[in-house]
């Protein structure tokens, strides 16, 4: 019984010695300060990366059911526009081997490209929809002025662009792209750099 008590006291004494040594050892304190400093540096670098992923703290929010586009800088609303989003229509090719669902993709994206006076390169579905044969010559796919004065690409062939059909703004009528009126599109184009985050819901 006494040996258990002695062992317990020796263990406590060992902990006390280690604690005292850590308090009196300047190297241990210096190591702790270095750890704090490196954590602060890591946090600062992480903060910079987060800020870089949201240039100027700008982000675009697109509500596909309300057909609205909002540009925010932090919590401040900079621009709001009525847009047109995907119709949800389905198109089958005549052979029934392929189908297209014309929805605006939902999720988180970024502005990957910006074009002035963009030309539209018509995809296969555009010819099928019009009941025309798919051309073999690439130049037959190019149409000028269909996308308006500006286009901002956010991946997989999807763009925020202008429209010839301004009377349809506010309705779900597109093949998946976001259509905007000329004035709002010009403002958006001028305000957002590449890398600006887009949230589509």
Catalytic residues: 161, 177
Sequence-ordered list of residues with C-beta below 8 angstroms from that of 85, at least 6 positions apart, any chain: 62, 64, 67, 104, 172, 174, 178
As a whole number of angstroms, the distance between CA 33 and CA 160 comes to: 50
Are the beta carbons of 181 and 166 closer than 8 angstroms? yes
As a whole number of angstroms, the distance between CA 44 and CA 8 comes to: 46
At residue 72, φ and ψ (nearest 5 deg) are -115, 145
16 CA to centre of own chain: 55
SS3 call for 21? helix
How is residue 96 written in tokens? 């029934």
As a whole number of angstroms, the distance between CA 188 and CA 65 comes to: 21
DSSP 42-62: HHHHHHHHHHHTSGGGEEEEE
């Amino acid at each position: 019984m006494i040996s258990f008590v002695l062992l317990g006291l020796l263990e406590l004494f060992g902990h006390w010695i280690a604690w005292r040594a850590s308090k009196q050892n300047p190297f241990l304190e210096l190591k702790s300060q270095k750890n704090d400093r490196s954590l602060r540096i890591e946090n600062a670098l992480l903060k910079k990366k987060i800020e870089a992923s949201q240039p100027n703290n700008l982000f675009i929010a697109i509500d596909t059911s309300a057909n609205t586009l909002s540009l925010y800088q932090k919590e401040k609303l900079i621009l709001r526009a009525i847009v047109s989003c995907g119709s949800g229509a389905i198109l089958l090719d005549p052979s029934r081997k392929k189908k297209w669902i014309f929805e605006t993709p939902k999720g988180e994206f970024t502005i990957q490209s910006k074009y002035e006076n963009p030309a539209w390169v018509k995809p296969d579905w555009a010819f099928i929809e019009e009941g025309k044969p798919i051309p073999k010559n690439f130049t037959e796919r190019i149409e000028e002025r269909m996308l308006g004065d500006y286009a901002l690409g956010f991946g997989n062939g999807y763009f925020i662009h202008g429209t010839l059909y301004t009377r349809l703004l506010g309705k779900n009528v597109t093949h998946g792209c976001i259509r905007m009126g000329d004035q709002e599109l010009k403002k958006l184009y001028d305000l957002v750099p590449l890398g600006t985050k887009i949230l589509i819901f």
